[in-house]
Amino acid sequence: MSTPKNNRRVVVTGMGWITPLGHEVDGVWKRLMNSDSGMGPITRFDARTFPTTFAAQVRDYDIARFVKDPSVHASAGLNSQFALGAACQAWRQSGLDGFAGLNRKRVGLYLGAGEGVLDFDNYAAANLAGWDAEQRRVDGVRWAETAHKVLEKMCEVEQEPNMPLAHLAREFGIRGPALNCLTACAASTQAIGEAFSLIQRGDADVMISGGTHTMIHVLGVTGFNRLTALSTSKGDPTKASRPFDATRDGFVMGEGSGMIVLESLEHALARGARPLAEVAGYGSSADAFRITDIHPEGRGGAASMHMALAQAGIDPLARRADGRAAIDYISAHGTGTKENDSIETKGVKRVFGEHAKDIPMSSIKSMMGHLIAAAGAVEFITCVLAIRDGMLPPTINYQTPDPALDLDYVPNKARAAKVDICLSNSFGFGGQNDTLVVKRFA
């Protein structure tokens, strides 16, 4: 194996998020420390008869509070709106908005953004109007007649998954490499990893990276309900997301965006920016196993963890000089499905061996739900905050231990800890696995 062409160090200089728990970094972090839940009844559409009636929705959000000129984003779908709010926070924190020396051709974007929300009512109306009951098919001409009347150009264009890129590029005048990846629940972790790789290679000096997504809509909930991936718990929705608990019964949908500014260390230092953390390693793998099932031994997740740790120069089976395990915290994918949580636990044990029990691992999906494509980015930000404050966010709703799941899941209450190195996992439906290692900047 040859060595990479370029080993430029890459640091985080800005972070922002729009989440079900709030719209700014420290406020949301405080709520995570308080074990708050963002779950409630679905209000985007009438879900009262659906198998799942609740989700973690972003509330009271207004992009006008964040962007320079809301009129240039007038047609933005929810996805792009969330992305703009999160990216504006990150950009401001990085100090790049006031940096006169910025070469916008050396600023890129790598997002893991989901597709936009279908104009469902009008789409359904066109489908029903076009339905030929005898032939049991949609008649193209009749469909087109209604669709041309009810479906709107901008609403359709804004559903393309690269539209958050377009909105962010417009807001910040970005002219460098711009990519969007969509590997389901792994997307924004993968985006951050590839953004890191582009800076390392020298293709850009600054990258805005992260993810944005909402699937809280009729066909999104339908699709995941049919896959039986969502929690269908009755009663208090704040108790529905129960990662690693023996009674877990599926994930709870969240929505929102997490965005970070990544920068080559030399670029950050040259302009006097303060690095918040350093990206130390990135790993990516595919399960190549089955369409719906994860490899039972956690092979793919273990491979992406191994790859990320190797790049960071960390031996997972060694202890540090002060006796600590190789890393201090794992931000779990931890969806709360039976399969994910048990296989993720197996995968972590496969990588860290007997040290796995000494490494706290929690899932903030217990509090803010699963942001799907955006999940990895908010979890990465959580890792940086854990390093900053020496605090680990909890896995809430952990009441009934599962005998097979015997790691330290930071149950129910945030915990103070010495945190210098974190690992963040994201695993996508379809078998893509991604891992980031982030460490204290020194």
Partner 1 sequence: MSPRRRVVITGLGPVTAHGLGIEPLWQALCEGRSALAPIRAFDARGFRAASAGELPAAFDVKELVPKSYRKATKVMARDIEIAVAGAALAVADAGLTTRGTNPDVAPTIAPDRFGCHIGAGLIAADLDELTAALTTSKDAAGRFDPSHWGAQGMQELTPLWLLKYLPNMLACHVTIIHDCQGPSNTITCNEASSGLSLSESQRVIERGAADACLSGGADSKLNPMGYLRQELAGRYAECTVDADATKVVRPFDAKASGTLAGEGGGILVVEAEETAKARGARIHAVLAGTGATQSWCDDTVGLVPDASGESLADAIETALRDAGLAAADIDAIIPYASGVPALDALERNALRRVFGAALPSKPIVQLAPSVGANLAGFGTIAAAVACRALSEQRLPARVNSTDTGDMCAAACASESRALRHILVCTPSLGGQNSAMVLSKP
Asked if 141 interacts with partner 1 (CB under 8 A), we say yes
Q: Which one, 22 or 428, has the nearer CB to partner 1?
A: 428
Eight-class DSSP state of 301? H
Residue 33 or 129: the one with the smaller Cβ distance to partner 1 is 129
Whole-number minimum distance, CB 371 to partner 1, in Å? 16
For 120, 149, 218, 373, 379, the CA distances from 138, given in Å and listed in that order, are 17, 17, 20, 32, 43
In whole angstroms, the minimum distance from the beta carbon of 47 to partner 1 comes to 6
> Does residue 403 come out as left (phi exceeding 0), alpha (psi in the -120 to 50 range) or beta?
alpha
- Region of 93-101, 200-208, 320-328, 375-383 interacting with partner 1 (CB under 8 A): 200-208
φ and ψ at residue 84, rounded to 5 degrees: -65, -45
- 121 in contact with partner 1 (CB under 8 A): yes
Shortest distance, position 284 Cβ to partner 1, whole Å? 4
How many CA atoms lie less than 13 Å away from 428 in the CB half-sphere?
Answer: 28
Q: How many CB atoms lie within 10 A of CB 315?
A: 9
Q: Does 192 bind partner 1 (CB under 8 A)?
A: no
CA distances, 94 to each of 13, 82, 206, 219, 381 (Å): 5, 19, 10, 37, 14
Binders of partner 1 among residues 258 to 277 (CB under 8 A) are none
Nearest distance in Å: CB 299, partner 1:
8
Comparing CB distances to partner 1, the nearer of 152 and 236 is 152
Task: Measure the CA–CA gap between 411 and 441, rounded to whole angstroms.
Answer: 28
Q: Which is nearer to partner 1, 158 or 245 (CB)?
A: 158
Closer to partner 1 at the Cβ: 161 or 394? 161
Beta-carbon contacts of residue 153 (< 8 Å; ≥ 6 apart) = none
Q: How far is the CB of 416 from partner 1 (least distance, A)?
A: 36
Minimum CB separation from partner 1 for residue 84, in Å?
A: 11
Q: How many Cα neighbours within 13 Å face the side chain of 429?
A: 14
Residues 378 to 437: which contact partner 1 by CB under 8 A?
428-432
Residue 142 binds partner 1, judged by CB under 8 A: yes
Q: Which sign, positive or negative, has the C-alpha torsion 421, 184, 157, 218?
A: negative
Nearest distance from C-beta of residue 109 to partner 1, angstroms:
7
**Site mask, partner 1, residues 35-74, x = CB under 8 A?**
----------xxxxxxx--------------------xx-
Place of tokens 């430029």: 8
Q: Give the range of 25-33, 170-178, 230-238, 361-369 binding partner 1 by CB under 8 A.
A: 170-178
Q: What are the catalytic residues?
A: 185, 333, 370
3-state DSSP call for residue 257?
Answer: strand
Tell me how crowded residue 122 is: count the other CB atoms within 10 A of its CB: 16
Query: Contact with partner 1 (CB under 8 A): which of 156, 249, 358, 402?
Result: 156
Judging by DSSP bridges, how do beta strands 277-286 and 415-416 pair with one another? unpaired
Least distance between partner 1 and beta carbon 221 (Å):
8
Rank residues 1 and 321 by Cβ distance to partner 1 and give the closer one: 1
Kindly tell me which residue out of 25, 63, 88, 163 binds partner 1, with binding defined by CB under 8 A.
163
The DSSP secondary-structure symbol of 312 reads: T
Q: Which is nearer to partner 1, 55 or 147 (CB)?
A: 147
Nearest to 333 by CA among 236, 432, 420, 231: 432
CA 400 to chain centre: 27
Contact track, partner 1, 80-119, x by CB under 8 A: -------------------------x--xx-----x----
Pick from 7, 396, 387, 373: which is nearest to 162 by CA?
373
Is the CB of residue 299 less than 8 Å from the CB of residue 351?
A: no
Number of residues that bind partner 1 (CB under 8 A): 103
Least separation in angstroms between residue 147's CB and partner 1 is 6
Considering only residues 205 through 244, tell me which ones interact with partner 1, judged by CB under 8 A.
Answer: 218-219, 222-228
Instruction: State yes or no: residue 9 binds partner 1 (CB under 8 A).
Output: no
- Region of 94-102, 120-128, 270-278, 340-348 interacting with partner 1 (CB under 8 A): 120-128
Task: Choose one: 132-140, 247-255, 347-355, 411-419; the region binding partner 1 (CB under 8 A).
Answer: 132-140
Query: 23 or 217, CB closer to partner 1?
Result: 217
Cβ proximity of 102 and 272 under 8 Å: no
- Which of the residues 277 through 296 are near partner 1 (CB under 8 A)? 284-292
CA dist 332 to 69, 104, 186, 425, Å? 37, 35, 12, 6
